[in-house]
Amino acid sequence: ALDKAVDTAKNAVRKDPTLAAAHFILGLALSARGDMEDAKSAFTQCDELSPGFIASRKNWQPYRDPESNRRIKSAFEAVVN
């Protein structure tokens, strides 16, 4: 599932490299997969495209399922902290 998420996010970045949200999602997926250097690079690109985007997602909870939101938060914190 994580490989598919990474591939989907990479495809979105290829289609529109100026889309900060695509870099953000790519960073989360890479982090969850354990690819920390690439995740940091994706987050850096996201923040360069849209300053403050990363900070604004600190408490992002896009899912109804608390466990899914916990995984997102964990992936986020692994890159940001």
Contacts of residue 80, Cβ cutoff 8 Å, sequence gap at least 6: 43, 54, 58
- In this prediction the pTM is 0.92
Distance CA 79, CA 43 (A): 8
Percent of the chain with pLDDT over 90: 96
pLDDT in tens, 4-35: 999 999 999 999 999 999 999 999 999 999 99
Distance CA 61, CA 45 (A): 22
Average pLDDT over residues 43-49: 97
Of 57, 55, 2, 46, nearest in space to 23 by CA: 46
With 90 as the cut, is the pLDDT of residue 75 above it?
A: yes
With 90 as the cut, is the pLDDT of residue 1 above it?
A: no
